[in-house]
Amino acid sequence: MQAGDIIGSEGVRESAPSVWKIRDDRSGITQEFESEPTSDDIKRFNRSRGYSSSKIVTKDDDSKLIVIRPVDKSGTV
């Protein structure tokens, strides 16, 4: 056990992550944020990867992770 662990009837659970992350589904590249990323943050992440648009594949509030996948202009992956 360590500081931040949560102890419950089901045993020891690690504490929730303190930072949010956006991960590119194709390259695996991840960027961290101190708070939940906004749509503008995701747009900036897209531009930094050279994408004009992307689709949110998953958003997990517990692990504070948003996974995006680039899409072309027609909307196909």
> Could you tell me the sign of the dihedral formed by the alpha carbons of 35, 63, 75, 51, in that order?
positive
Phi, psi dihedrals of residue 9, rounded to the nearest 5°:
-65, -25
Measure the N-to-C terminal CA separation of the chain; round to a whole number of Å.
42
Predicted model pTM: 0.72
Confidence band of 20 (pLDDT split at 50, 70, 90): very high
Confidence band of 22 (pLDDT split at 50, 70, 90): very high
Kindly report, residue by residue over 27-58, the tens digit of the pLDDT: 999 999 999 999 999 999 999 999 989 999 99
CA distances from 31 to 4, 6, 13, 26, 58 (A): 23, 26, 25, 14, 15
